Amino acid sequence: MAQHSTKIRLLNAAEQLFAREGFHNTSLRSLASLAEANLAATNYHFGSKEALLKAVIERRLLPLNQIRETEIEKVLSQARESNIPPTADALLRAFIEPTLEFRNSSSGARDFISLIGRSLNEPDETVRNCFLSLILPIFQVLLEGLREALPQLPQKILLTRLEFIMGTMSHVMCMSSHSILNSPSLTEALEQNELIQQLLKFVLAGLEAPE
Amino acid sequence: MAQHSTKIRLLNAAEQLFAREGFHNTSLRSLASLAEANLAATNYHFGSKEALLKAVIERRLLPLNQIRETEIEKVLSQARESNIPPTADALLRAFIEPTLEFRNSSSGARDFISLIGRSLNEPDETVRNCFLSLILPIFQVLLEGLREALPQLPQKILLTRLEFIMGTMSHVMCMSSHSILNSPSLTEALEQNELIQQLLKFVLAGLEAPE
DNA sequence: GTCTATACGATGATAGAC
DNA sequence: GTCTATCATCGTATAGAC
């Protein structure tokens, strides 16, 4: 930890504490202690606790969104070339796979994915909007693609089901340390790759359910 | 508000503020102000802020669980009588319908459903366990029924998919005031009854997806 | 039994010395 | 860039009025 700059140490400590204890339940003092920094360091480097949260989210979400967008565009351009509409399966996979694979890249990434998974259900607008604004452009691209893939599905139904899918995803993202039903959490019980495949099968079946 | 006892006013105010602002983001002072009670009233009537949360959850979750359990038992006993296994559709409906119908019974009920929907993804163990302990018995009954309904589905897959279903549900429960994709939130865009049917169709398709 | 007034240590935030 | 001092506000506890 100590080999990085104060700013980086604060980002790492905040990522861990915000994810594991919750944003409002994390004190600047415990944060400064974990980061081996002064109490005032957060305010100096970021301006406020909320600005630190935004920095934590942006640091990882911008690169992750880049990957997701690239994968979706790959599916769309292949569809255009071959003159065959994209499949919902390929589109969902392009969105979901990078997310869950990214989670396994480090313990910080795991904390981060848990944090943004929870942000979807966050009641506090300032916290929720902080991450919603970053994800909405990708959603638009994904939605456009799915409309091509499932032209027979009414727009309102498609929107509803995509919302359901995001709910399922956010729960899986949060379950890094706990799961509801079984005491060895899902992410341990299932092979990581098997979890992704199960999630994809589940949401695809829901999305393509007969109307 | 003022026609009720202090204890009831505190429960109502806590339900609203915990759901809309978050537990850790709600101060006892704003709570006392909304309830038109003294700052020390929470501590006198409940012992602590956390004990108040537990009381808020138990007040509504115990009756709701009673309804859910009755509905599930009704499906199971009908199956036993006719010697035909219960359907996954009927079981999920018995669990989901009372939950979402309860939400529309009052604005307090709506806040409450939003609150427990969020509890599923809560990082703080004390908050999460407070409600998990109340819901686990119902889960066991539901799980047993689903095992009868889908005997060909491996246990591990069933557990995983039930976890996915809870994730989808919790997101819908949280979306009382906001939704991710469209600015008129889902619960306004769709007729309440249509939302329930859409949710049921979605999770049933996911649960019964070919393995 | 209920409630009020008040106090205590800890929190988020900031200003100014270094 | 870093740190100390400081402030209003937080959850909690208690003593005592009704």
pTM of the prediction?
0.93
Give the CATH fold of the A57-207 domain.
Tetracycline Repressor; domain 2 (1.10.357)
Cβ of B49 near strand C (distance < 7 A): no
Task: Give CA separation, A90 vs A10, A65, A66, A93, A102, in Å.
Answer: 38, 17, 17, 5, 18
How far apart are the CA of B12 and the nearest CA of chain A, in angstroms?
18
Query: For chain D, which bases have at least one atom within 7 A of a protein Cβ?
Result: 1-5, 9-15
Distance (Å, rounded) from C-alpha B85 to C-alpha B103? 30
Distance (Å, rounded) from C-alpha B112 to C-alpha B56? 8
Distance (Å, rounded) from C-alpha A108 to C-alpha A103? 8
Q: Which of B125, B181, B204 has its CB closest to that of A163? A: B181
pLDDT per position as a tens digit, B32-91:
999 999 999 999 999 999 999 999 999 999 999 999 999 999 999 999 999 999 999 999
- For chain A, the domains span 57-207
The contacts of residue B142 (CB under 8 Å, 6+ apart) are B72, B91, B95, B162
The confidence score (pLDDT) of residue A128 equals 78
What chain A residue is nearest to B196 in terms of C-alpha separation? A160
Residue A52, CA: closest nucleotide via C1'?
C12
How far apart are the CA of A211 and the nearest CA of chain B, in angstroms?
9
Residue A47, CA: closest nucleotide via C1'?
C13
Max Cα-Cα span within chain A: 59
Low-confidence ranges of chain B (pLDDT < 50): none
CA of A126 to C1' of C17 (A): 34
Of A112, A171, A197, A199, which to mutate for an interface test with B (greatest number of B Cβ within 10 Å)? A171
CA of A48 to C1' of C15 (A): 15
Of A121, A140, A155, A182, which to mutate for an interface test with B (greatest number of B Cβ within 10 Å)? A121
Q: What do you get for the CA distance between the two ends of chain A, in Å?
A: 53
The rounded average pLDDT for each run of 10 residues, N- to C-terminus, in chain A (211 residues) is: 80 93 88 90 89 92 95 96 97 96 90 91 76 88 96 93 95 76 60 90 97 81
Cβ of A22 near strand C (distance < 7 A): no
Nearest to B18 by CA among B6, B27, B8, B7: B27
